Amino acid sequence: MLRPSLRKPDQMRPVSMETAVNKWAEGSCLIKFGGTQVLCTATVEFSQPTWKRMQKKTGGWVSAEYCMLPRANSTRRNHEAMQKDNRAVEISRLIGRSLRSVIDLEALGKHTITIDCDVIQGDGGTRCASVTGGFVALAMATRWLMDNGHITENPIIANIAAVSVGLWQNELILDLDFAEDCEAELDANFVMSEDGRFVEIQATGESHPFTSEQMSEMMQMASVACKKLIDLQNQVLE
């Protein structure tokens, strides 16, 4: 059965990443997964977070904030509603955890990097686009720190990327858009590092439980897609 987007089951939407789109940020990337567009910016601060200073811990820190702009979707959400968005908090934590998994915080020195992921237009997969584009912004910020003599070695350990896989009309499909996500019987998000290991898996049986065989197939689909995304990251970071 054809998907609403007319894609094959294992076919991603067109993906693009444009760097240096914000002249003020130490790193920035505009990432597009089909109709989903996310602006990711990296801000460098020359100090540790307060909690880390109080505990006299060494090394730096990386955190993230995720937000959907008022007209990112078909109906407008006001700024007050955005500030009370528990979903945004959960996704922010996911992005932060994912990015910290592939950076040496000791090598980062006493610096804090904040990745802001602002969804300009949402059409499914916004958290996956945010992780993937957020890594590019992070890599640019660490490069900026090295180029300006603030750190002596690259703290990035490996690339990471993320993609969604779901069960739609009894068929496993890759990179769900909004129309597919709304009807999916199973929805999963995979964050993977460039060495083939998974950083995080979020999977929910929306309509019924799923099998270990389905999980294995989803992991394989996600692995292939994430490797392609990491190749694209490396191209734009050259």
Q: Above pLDDT 90, what percent of the chain?
A: 89
| Residue 77, pLDDT score | 83
| Residue 197, pLDDT score | 96
Task: Considering only residues 189 and 85, tell me which one the structure prediction assigns the higher pLDDT.
Answer: 189
Check pLDDT > 90 for residue 175: yes
Tell me the per-residue pLDDT of 10-21, one tens digit each, with 9 for 90 and over. Answer: 999 999 999 999
Give CA–CA dist 45/82, Å, rounded.
Answer: 25
Check pLDDT > 80 for residue 83: no
Check pLDDT > 80 for residue 79: no
The whole-model pTM stands at 0.95
Check pLDDT > 70 for residue 60: yes
| Residue 80, pLDDT score | 74
Query: If we measure between CA atoms, which residue out of 133, 168, 141 comes closest to residue 36?
Result: 133
Domain boundaries, the chain: 15-237
Torsion angle, CA of 33/164/114/194, rounded to 10 degrees?
-100
- The 3-state DSSP class for residue 162 equals strand
Instruction: Answer yes or no: are the C-beta atoms of 63 and 111 closer than 8 Å.
Output: no
| Residue 84, pLDDT score | 67
Check pLDDT > 70 for residue 137: yes
Q: What is the mean pLDDT of residues 25-30?
A: 98
Residue 78 pLDDT class (50, 70, 90 cuts): confident
| Residue 161, pLDDT score | 98
Task: Considering only residues 81 and 152, tell me which one the structure prediction assigns the higher pLDDT.
Answer: 152
How far from each other are the two terminal CA atoms of the chain, in whole angstroms?
A: 40
Taking residue 150's Cβ as centre, other Cβ atoms within 10 Å add up to 15
Q: Share the mean pLDDT of the chain.
A: 95
Check pLDDT > 90 for residue 85: no
Which of 1.20.1050.90, 3.30.1360.80, 3.30.230.70, 3.90.1150.10 would CATH assign to domain 15-237? 3.30.230.70
Check pLDDT > 70 for residue 205: yes
Q: What are the angstrom distances between the C-alpha of 56 and each of 48, 110, 156, 157? A: 10, 11, 23, 24
| Residue 74, pLDDT score | 84
Taking residue 61's Cβ as centre, other Cβ atoms within 10 Å add up to 21
Q: Above pLDDT 70, what percent of the chain?
A: 98
Q: Which residues contact 94 (CB under 8 A, 6 or more apart)?
A: 127, 131, 191, 200, 202
| Residue 1, pLDDT score | 67
